């Protein structure tokens, strides 16, 4: 496994997440997630990225929820500040601009496709779900459909893996940053 890949163990613990600290899911995390989401979290198998204060930023979810529903969003952005800023970017039309750039910039499109493959590989280590095989999230690999997913992936994987997630994080850095607590 190269330095750009993540390794995971099925269950409630992330054993290694490149670019972020890896932590097991604690009861305090589950309480924080419920507070952040406004509902009981589903399918939690790990905390893929944390705030500077230790609270969850991104939860890692199982590819099949407890009720049997396939769930393609492996890296689910939960921090209210990050969610709010991702929503602001979406409302400002950033997704369309990024999607248009994917059609014009072959290098960016290739990097985005590689991010799609990374996402699929990370999810596959948690279990194979035929209904979502080959489908990542966020519109990958050909368009941008959800900046929340791309930011979550970028935070979980670390810089250089998810190019458009990295760009989105750069766009919101004056409003929200993962290394400065705003909980």
- For 108, residues 6+ apart whose C-beta sits below 8 A from its C-beta are 101, 102, 163, 164
- Residue 13's pLDDT is what? 31
What percent of the chain is predicted at pLDDT more than 70? Answer: 87
Q: DSSP label at 131?
A: G
- Three-class SS state of 57: strand
For residue 9, name the pLDDT band (cuts at 50, 70, 90): very low
Report domain extents, the chain. Answer: 27-172
pLDDT of 59 > 80? The answer is yes
Residue with tokens 């990374």: 118
pTM of the model: 0.86
Average pLDDT along the chain: 88
For residue 22, name the pLDDT band (cuts at 50, 70, 90): low
- The model's pLDDT over 88-111, given as tens digits with 9 standing for 90+, comes to 999 999 999 999 999 999 999 999
- Residue 24's pLDDT is what? 86
pLDDT of 4 > 90? The answer is no
Note whether 123 and 74 are within 8 A (CB): yes
Note whether 30 and 46 are within 8 A (CB): no
- The model's pLDDT over 133-177, given as tens digits with 9 standing for 90+, comes to 999 999 999 999 999 999 999 999 999 999 999 999 999 999 999
């Amino acid at each position: 496994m190269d330095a750009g890949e993540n390794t995971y163990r099925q269950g409630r613990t992330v054993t290694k997440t490149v670019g972020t600290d890896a932590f097991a899911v604690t009861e305090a995390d589950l309480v924080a997630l419920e507070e952040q989401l406004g509902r009981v979290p589903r399918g939690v198998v790990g905390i893929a990225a944390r705030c500077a204060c230790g609270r969850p930023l991104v939860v890692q979810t199982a590819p099949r929820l407890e009720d049997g529903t396939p769930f393609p969003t492996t890296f689910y952005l939960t921090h209210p500040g990050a969610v709010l800023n991702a929503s602001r970017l979406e409302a400002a039309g950033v997704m369309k601009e990024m999607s248009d750039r994917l059609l014009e910039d072959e290098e960016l499109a290739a990097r985005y496709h590689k991010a799609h493959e990374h996402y699929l590989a990370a999810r596959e280590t948690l279990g194979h779900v035929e209904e979502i095989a080959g489908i990542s999230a966020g519109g990958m690999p050909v368009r941008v459909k959800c900046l929340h997913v791309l930011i979550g992936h970028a935070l979980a994987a670390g810089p250089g893996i998810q190019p458009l997630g990295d760009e989105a994080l750069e766009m919101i850095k004056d409003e929200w940053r993962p290394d400065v607590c705003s909980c």
